[in-house]
Structure 1
Amino acid sequence: MRNQLPSYLFTSLVLHWLQRSGVNAALGSQKLVSVGQTMTLMKRNPSADWTVEDWGTWAQNERKTLEMKYGGGHHRKRSSGTNAIVNQNGDSSYYGSLAIGTPPVSYNVILDTGSADLWVAGQGCSAGCEGISSFNPSDSSSFHNDSNTFSITYGSGQAAGYLGQDVVQMAGFQVSNQVFAVCDQVSSGLLSSPVSGLLGLGFETIASSKATPFWETLVTEGAWDQPVMSFHLTRYLNVSDVESLEPGGSFTMGFLNDSLYTGDIDYVDLPVEASYWILPITGITVQNNSVPAPSGQAAYAAIDTGTTLVGGPSDVISQIFDQIPGSSPGSGSFESYYTYPCDTDVTIELSFGGSQSWAISPADFRLTRLTRDTCLGAFFEITSKGSAPSWIVGDTFLKNVYSVFRYSPASVGFAQLSSLAIGLNGNKSIPVPTPTVGSSPASVSATGTIGVSGTKASTSHTHLLTHVMALLIVALGTILI
């Protein structure tokens, strides 16, 4: 009897066959809208050649960015789809693609549940926009300039420009008059090729533009089968010979991909009015030792796909590292961070008031090796201001769960990753996804109009594709066992 191929390799073969057969080109079109497409995520990885000084600069920018991002300065017919995302620079950030304009042009954007604005670099941007695709309003027949200024500030820089409206497409969905910012001023280092901007997936209440976010228009206008969006993020951190771009997982809108998780989704309702995706931290365990959990607002954590690490109050962070023998506070560029012995595998579990606690892999807790014996931890101290959450829980945690962001009732849910999802971590045989632009996506507008043309045809085509994939998987399994 021949050796059986792992399930993730079956999936890779199936996807490769579908792509060679021309099916992949249809994934963004109306014909497949009813089944739900998945947006493949891309992962961005820190360079293996970074020095300790490089890591120090990056670490401080990460902390300052979070303090600015959550500093209170910017408070203020049905279907489903999937977008393949990219892991950039070793789990540093995850981006997907969307299309803007008539005719549609693809742009790569960071997917960020910790903000609520869509912005892309404009053609007039020079400094800070080298080597990236930029939006030219004159190339789109459907663009409208709103003549309102836009500005958003991060710890490591600023993006500024003006607001406009245009057709925006993503994963088989379209908003015909989406408000977004065209930025002609972008601080150096804020964008890294091939990323052109950012898609905020938080609530309208925190949008600097005051505009309804793309995702919120889709869900409130009834474009989704279910009022949910979800993430599966891959891990390439500390993998040898990792490339700057790797397959990052997937971002789904309007449905849950049950092949990527096991068991039930453990939902916890947001404890405050919808703004950020906030959950209370109710339990912390380090190396099987319990650390006293904060209470009240001090326990509030923003679940943020646009943040690499986990930030929290200094007193709790210090207690976490107290449970790790040989750890010590960082200094200089590593102030607010902690180091620990590299020969120690650190396991941390977090609870958010649901029925389960969720473990962070030692591979994710180890941000990088600074010396032969000293490693840098992925938890660090932040100082929150005003009504900003005390904790920011980023990809260090989210890589270990299937995460779901539910609009109604407003809640965040987590589930255990399936063997298929886990098998994608560090996988070097899977190609990096490329953006596709759908020719006839399901359409809604900010005024409430829902496009319905072609719905019946799309449903039948989708079901046919589903059956074809199922039969192909069974056939491959029969042949290879």
Structure 2
Amino acid sequence: MQSSLTNASFAYEHTDDLLSEEYIAEIEWDGVPVQVIIDSGSSDTWLVQAGFTCVDADGNEQAEEDCSFGPVFNGTFDEGSIADENFNIEYGDGEFLTGVLGYENVTVAGITVQNQEVALVNYSYWFGDDVTSGLMGLAYPLLTSAYEGTNTSADSEDTLAEYNPIITTMINDGLIDPVFSLALERNSDSGYLALGGLPPVNTTGPYASTPILKIEIYDEPEMAVQYSFYTIIADGYVYEGSENQTADTTQFPIIVDSGTTLVYLPTDIYTDIIALYDPKPIYILEEGASFVLCTATAPSVGVNINGTVFDISAADLIYQDYSITLLGKDYCLVGIQDGTTGPYILGDTFLNNVVAVFDIGASEMRFAANNY
């Protein structure tokens, strides 16, 4: 059942599928509207600060435009900075950022969070989109990335300074019921981030529920006793070609992450699925991903959650908007990739097809087929 708080608000903000790679929304940072990535796979909210240093993967300084941010933030923290702490995060794709921390009034969908702890980035290795100025993380406090001291090279698990991210503050302050939802729509600016309830969209069939797990995804024992990612275990994965259908009931933890474009599955399941494309995909080392002829036929693929199979659209199994040309032929990105040894992720390839309810109060996730 869904938990609730008295006198809490409900609101929603439209999300925009940018470049078929990420979902963004507008928030206000002390009254200044900015575009940010919506990320259920991390917890920090940050903007890039004017005068930041852009670097490559090895830390060599580059021109600012090489990080491809949208408008930089000209200012500091209107509600005060935090002395003797630093912001230091590395994302799963290798991007990394450091900066400073402070307090700001942040408004999302008309709901203003007073004195929210946030970060301003002044050092960045980032694959930007020339639109967004930062990111809003929606996961649990355990994943926040504040550290004691100002020397980033001394940061470690022992110096973590965990804090309440924006979604936790909204709940604790009674601004919303302890739930948020995502109804993402591919190639559209008509998706929703709903705070405190469900988005105003049509769904097909009932909601299927599954617990959010406390589980040690990385080698961090605290993950076994505190919530971190929105981690679930699906009942299985269903995929079929023209001649056969397979239901793989291998159960393993998988993260529901709106900040990741693709789905990453164990190697054996990934191998089974890509073998059903016609023609078969190829792995392109320079891209670090599998691609298939853009004219290929994708198999049927679904995720079984508590007895309900949620189908993934063919449009999400072959990304027509992300293509490269090889020997005069166009190859498109495959929506399901090899997750090797993990962590495994249900990214936008899956989320484009469902309404996902992150019920923090009930410690469960619910899914229904998104009818659009």
Give TM-score, length-normalised by structure 2: 0.79
Return the offset for 1:141.
4.2
Q: 1:132, 1:167 → 2: CA distance?
A: 21
C-alpha contact (below 8 Å) 2:11/2:194 kept by paired residues? yes
Cα distance in 1 for residues equivalent to 2:206 and 2:352: 18
Mapping of residues 206-225 of structure 1, within 5 Å: 206-209=143-146, 210-224=162-176
- The question of 1:162 aligning with 2:89 is answered no
Cα–Cα, structure 1 residues 106 and 120, in superposed 2: closer, same or farther, change >3 Å? Answer: same
Given the alignment of the two structures, is residue 390 of structure 1 paired with residue 343 of structure 2, yes or no? yes
The CA deviation at 1:360 is 0.4
1:324 aligns with 2:277: yes
2:347 matches 1:417: no
SS in 2 for 1:192: coil
Q: Which whole-Å CA distance do the structure 2 matches of 1:166 and 1:143 have between them?
A: 8
Q: 1:274 aligns with which of 213, 216, 227?
A: 227
Say which structure, 1 or 2, has more relative contact order (CA 8 Å, 6+ apart): 1
Q: Distance in 2 between matches of 1:147 and 1:82?
A: 36
Larger Cα-atom Rg: 1
Q: How does 1:43-442 map to 2 (within 5 A)?
A: 77-89=7-19, 91-101=20-30, 104-125=31-52, 127=64, 128=66, 132-138=70-76, 141-154=78-91, 155-187=93-125, 189-209=126-146, 210-224=162-176, 226-236=177-187, 246-272=188-214, 273-287=226-240, 289-295=245-251, 299-334=252-287, 337=290, 339=292, 342-352=295-305, 354-368=306-320, 370=324, 372=329, 375-384=332-341, 390-418=343-371, 422=372
Q: Secondary structure at the match of 1:337?
A: strand
Structure number having the greater helix percentage: 1
Q: Return the letter of the residue paired with 1:176.
A: Q
Cα distance, 1:263 vs. partner? 3.8
Equivalents in 2 of 1:375, 1:259: separation in Å?
Answer: 30
Superposed structure 1 runs of 4+ greater than 6 Å apart: none
* CA distance in structure 1 between the aligned counterparts of 2:227 and 2:357, rounded to whole angstroms: 15
- Kindly tell me the number of residue pairs found equivalent between the two proteins: 320
Contact 1:142 1:166 in 2 (8 A): yes
Deviation at 1:341, TM superposition (A): 7.7
Equivalent residue, structure 2, for 1:427: none
**Does structure 1 retain, via aligned residues, the 8 Å contact 2:183–2:199?**
no
Letter in 1 for 2:49: G
- CA 1:162 to 1:260, structure 2 compared with 1: closer, same or farther past 3 Å? same
Q: Distance in 2 between matches of 1:266 and 1:340?
A: 34
**Residues 256, 347 of structure 2: 8 Å contact kept:** yes
What RMSD over aligned residues (CA atoms) do the two structures have, in Å?
A: 2.4
Answer yes or no: is the 8 Å Cα contact 2:291–2:331 preserved in 1: no
Check the 8 A contact 2:279/2:296 in 1, yes or no: no
Structure 1 CA distance for aligned equivalents of residues 302 and 200 of structure 2: 24
Q: CA deviation at 1:130?
A: 5.8
Q: Offset at 1:151? A: 1.2
SS in 1 for 2:271: helix
Give the 3 Å change call, closer, same or farther, for CA 400–115 of structure 1 in structure 2.
same
Mapped to 2, the partners of 1:141 and 1:221 lie a distance apart of 20
* 330-339 or 192-201, which deviates more: 330-339
CA contact (8 A) 2:41 2:229 kept: yes
Offset of residue 381 of structure 1: 1.1
Percent identical: 25
Consecutive unaligned residues of structure 1, counting only runs of 5 or more, are: 1-76, 237-245, 423-481
- Aligned partners of 1:131, 1:325: CA distance in 2, in Å? 38
